[in-house]
Amino acid sequence: MDIPQVPQTGAKADAIKKNLARIKLPRGFKIGLYAIVPDARHLAVGPQGVVTFVGTRKSKVWAVTDRDKDRVADEVKEFAPSISFAIPNGVCFSKDGFLFIAEQNRVLVYPAAEFFYEGPDVAAFVVVKQGELIPPEEESYNHTSRVCRIGPDDKLYITLGQPFNVYAPEKMDLYKKSGIGGIVRMSREGKDREVFATGVRNSVGMDFNPKDKALWFTDNQVDGMGDNQPPGELNRADKAGMNFGFPYFGGGKTRTNEYKNQTPPADVTFPQVEMDAHAADLGMTFYNGRMFPQNYRGGIFSAQHGSWNRTTPVGARVMFTKLKDDGTADKTEVFADGWLTENGEYLGRPVDVAQLPDGSLLVSDDFAGAIYRIWYDGR
Amino acid sequence: MARHRRAMRLIAVAVLLLATAAPSAAGDVAAGRRKALACQACHGLDGLSKLPDAPHLAGQPERYLVKSLDEYRKGVRKNELMTLVVKDLSDQDIADLASYYSAIEVSRAAAEVSPGAVSCSKWNFSMCRTHPRSRSRTRPLPAAIYCSRQLEQECAD
């Protein structure tokens, strides 16, 4: 049984390519259309370099293959069409080729997904049973884009957004215990689950620094406090058990109205980088390639989805954060922008960034339904 | 000739009356489009839903849009996102947004129903017997194999 493919040419591809002509990058970098992928969210580049798996916030996961290695995908098809997914946003690979997919309330693992994806018969194993990632009564659509990573300790890390703008105090005990509004980790078989980080509002991007093994993650901050506060966040967790301040802090050091009269915990860790308010920092990756100039190696690329209700929209960019020798943030700059027109209209909304084996950078966009590739040729 | 001109004038007056009587008179489409920048992330500037739990707004009845926004503003309807965005909207903002989204033209066609969808269990049954990790051709993978409840039953020893 053949799985239908997503057409890669035509009016839509032409329109997206035309929009890409507006994207501004540092000198020597180029951007091109890599693949048309409907609702493209988070990216997992296969360690064999064969397939890139793409999550969505709907019900499909896509498998994207560049068969002729011209650095443009020539095949996009549904992964495991026989499995019904619910918000399969979080996709991540272990180094030995196991694909993990974190859904709204289930985690499955697909051994050797890069080899078995060709047909509809895909073997899958349960890591977290349906209904056991979070208590089912806490399920929502809002803030339910999970992301996952296999850590240097070979454990599975998953971000769990809390479903509200600011949750009510009676939720606090349950959320702390279950890791909602935080990051949880467990063995690759789903055992020994523990809460790794708390005080997070809605993280939709994380990656480990291969140099010092610290976990960095983005966090989306509180709405309804005006256009210019609180800031978005890029955080660093160098050990388990850290508290990142929510709901006492709504982003950076800005206190939330709901908790302003309560004393925050003494051990709150503030972000390494404060990003533009409401820019919606989502996916991120450390850059370990050799294609980009030295300045970018060991730094962080992160995607800003763009604000959802700010009076004047902001974001829809790819940011770059350089680190200091001690592993903390140095400075953040805009790397790619132009998806937001001067009239405030979105032409695209970047979601995630991932590095291809050749050192180029993929950027997913769930508004245009596409994946772009950014490469460096020095010209 | 004179009678013809008088008839034209009457028609013009009638058209004018109709225009002012229509509910869209209160809202300004152009202003609505500008204000819709704060709606586009979920509902699209084209009025087509950008995420699964947000509805299309293109071509929605104007009165329904006004009513919905007003109900969110009053707190009669509640939604984590909508409750936040409507709280500072004025009557004019609501009228403008409603007139913009209702003015978007949509074309419709009934869904086509294609026969012969393949059921999961039928489709995957072969996998249980031929998967390389399976110990023998007849013995299926252990309980971990996963496709659907139906498949699990078929694969069970």
Residue with tokens 């020798």: A325
Considering only residues B2 and A39, tell me which one the structure prediction assigns the higher pLDDT. Answer: A39
Q: Is B31 on the interface with A (CB under 8 A)?
A: no
Determine the distance in angstroms separating the CA of A344 from the nearest CA of chain B, rounded to an integer: 7
The answer to whether residues A239 and A286 touch, using CB atoms and an 8 Å cutoff, is no
Considering only residues B130 and B90, tell me which one the structure prediction assigns the higher pLDDT. Answer: B90
* B133 to A312: CB separation less than 8 angstroms, yes or no: no
Determine the distance in angstroms separating the CA of B23 from the nearest CA of chain A, rounded to an integer: 26
Quick one: tokens of A242?
């850290």
Determine the pLDDT at residue A346: 96
Q: What is the 3-state secondary structure (H, E, C) of chain A?
A: CCCCECCCCCHHHHHHHHHHCCCECCCCEEEEEEEECCCCCCEEECCCCCEEEECCCCCCCEEEECCCCCCCCCEEEECCCCCCCCCCCEEEECCCCCEEEECCCCEEEECCHHHHCCCCCCCCEEEECCCCCCCHHHCCCCCCCCCEEECCCCCEEEEECCCCCCCCHHHHHHHHHHCCCEEEEECCCCCCCEEEEECCCCCCCEEECCCCCCEEEEECCCCCCCCCCCCEEEEEECCCCEECCCCCEEECCEECCCCCCCCCCCCECCCCEEECCCCCEEEEEECCCCCCCHHHCCCEEEEECCCCCCCCCCCCEEEEEEECCCCCEEEEEEEEECCECCCCCECCCEEEEEECCCCCEEEEECCCCEEEEEEECCC
Taking the C-alpha atoms of residue A209 and residue A235, their distance in angstroms, rounded to an integer, is: 12
| B27 pLDDT above the threshold of 50 | yes
Q: Is A375 on the interface with B (CB under 8 A)?
A: no
Residue to mutate among B45, B88, B124, with most A CBs inside 10 A, is B124
Determine the pLDDT at residue B109: 83
Q: 0.80 exceeded by the pTM?
A: yes
* A310 to B38: CB separation less than 8 angstroms, yes or no: yes
* Per-block mean pLDDT, blocks of 10 residues, chain A (379 long): 90 97 98 98 94 97 95 95 94 96 97 86 91 96 96 98 97 97 97 98 98 98 95 98 98 97 97 98 98 98 96 95 98 98 96 97 98 97
* B37 to A306: CB separation less than 8 angstroms, yes or no: no
Collect all residues of chain A within an 8 Å Cβ-Cβ radius of residue B53.
141-142
- Report ipTM for this prediction: 0.84
